[in-house]
Amino acid sequence: MKHEELIALYFEDQLNVQQKLEFENLLRMDTTFKAQFELEQQVKTAIISAKKDVLKARLQQLEQPKKSYTFYLTRIAASIIIALGVFGIWQQNTPLDNNQLFTEYFEPYTNIIVPSERGKATDDDKTEAFRYYDTKNYTLASEKFEDLYKATSTSYYLFYQAICELQLENPSKAILLLETHQKYSDKVSEHRNWYLALAYLKANSIEQSKALLQQIISKKTYKYKAAKDILKKID
């Protein structure tokens, strides 16, 4: 779940048990998330306070001249503008959330191993695994790829399983799989570093992500232009 959605659900008091655990863990471990939450909390508090001032001013209008009421409204409007201005400045000067960057640039790599053929049905495990992958059933696809790698030691299964784990919000597992894949050279090797850099980014391992992005740029390998864009945003 995206960080913005978690924060919104928190303020609406609609977090379930699992989401509460994720929210509390992010508050402890992710400084960017914590800063974003605290800023939004401050802005909401300022707006609520301003609304109370509006109500107070309306009540006092019954007892005070029109000039006094106008003065109150001017003060309230100024406080709201200041609160929103602070929020806007913070957004402009705060780096994009790592998870937002990941979502912006990540897309699953194409199945180039067993392309789906309409009307053709086979029962072998390899075809079934990639059928799950192509139909976005990433949980079953990951399980199949794991079994196939154990049975055959064919390296590209590690790569595709890692893509599945990234889709399933498991960057740590994806990192382990892609790092294991580094000792192999196969059809997907030239694309590995891009996905590993994104996995590091999603896991908040920024320095490791930067190092790989710089390597991608220097060698002009897969997605090197996108790597330049990400580096500009996280530097």
- The whole-model pTM stands at 0.61
- Of 144, 150, 152, 191, nearest in space to 135 by CA: 144
**Rounded to 10 degrees, what is the CA torsion of 25, 30, 33, 38?**
80
Q: What is the CATH number of domain 102-234?
A: 1.25.40.10
Averaged pLDDT of the chain? 84
For the record, the structure tokens of 195 come out as 């996905």
The tens digit of pLDDT for each residue in 184-223 reads 999 999 999 999 999 999 999 999 999 999 999 999 999 9
Helix (H, G, I), strand (E, B) or coil at 128: helix
Cα–Cα distance for residue pair 163/107, rounded to 1 Å: 9
In angstroms, the CA 194 to CA 217 distance is: 10
Over residues 81-138, the pLDDT tens digits come to 665 555 554 444 444 589 999 999 999 999 999 976 544 445 699 999 999 999 999 9
Instruction: Rounding to the nearest 10 degrees, give the CA dihedral for residues 99, 103, 106, 111.
Output: 120
- Measured CA to CA in angstroms, residue 131 lies from 42, 106, 117, 138 at distances of 48, 21, 10, 10
